[in-house]
Every structure is written in C-alpha cells, then in structure tokens.
Amino acid sequence: MPGRIWLFLTPSIHAMTRRKIVIYRAMDALFTRAIGAHSPARRRLIEIGCGASHWFPYFHRAFGYDVSGIDCTVAGIRLSQAILGRAGVSGRIVQGDLFEPSPDWIGQFDV
C-alpha cells in the first residue's frame, strides 16, 4: 500500500517543484534586472527578518554581495547561520530590532 500512496503524492510533489522552479526563475530575472545594473564599489546586502531565508547564498553567488541579516529571534539567527553554513557562504547575522538598529549598521548597506 505505501507504493500506492507514493503514486498519488508523486505528481503533486513534482508539480510543486515545477512551480517553484518557475517562480525562482522569474524572481532571478526580476533581481537581475533590478540589482544586476546596480554596481556599487562595495556590495553589501541586509535582509530584515532573515530567519528562514534561503536568499543569502543566492545574492552572494549571483551578485557578489556580502550578506548580513537581522532577526529578532535566536531560532531565526541559528537557522540563517545554518543555511549559510550549508551553502559555504559567510555572512553576519545578528539578533536585533529593525526599529532600533545598531549604529554601525546605519548607512552600511546597498540593498
């Protein structure tokens, strides 16, 4: 019986994967148009609420950005650090509040 269930689940799993691929390609095209032309001397990106984000490796590899993130939870910070670690990308992730950023972060990011 497990094989029968697998047969029913497989098409939806593949459909979800195809949809994700289409979405990621569309987002890549959007980011390439929006960010690709933006070429600052230093490339620094910050993501607010970065907890479960898988975008850090993408922005680092696709555009050469040094990536940083801020999240209000310890769990979010650990998750972001794990994502960066698995991708072999270094980045700075801190716990904090968007409305009370560290003074050394103000004006330090391009994106």
Give the model confidence (pLDDT) of 29-81 as tens digits.
888 888 876 666 678 888 998 888 888 888 888 888 899 999 999 999 999 99
Cβ atoms 96, 72 nearer than 8 A: yes
Q: What is the mean pLDDT of the chain?
A: 80
pTM of the model: 0.74
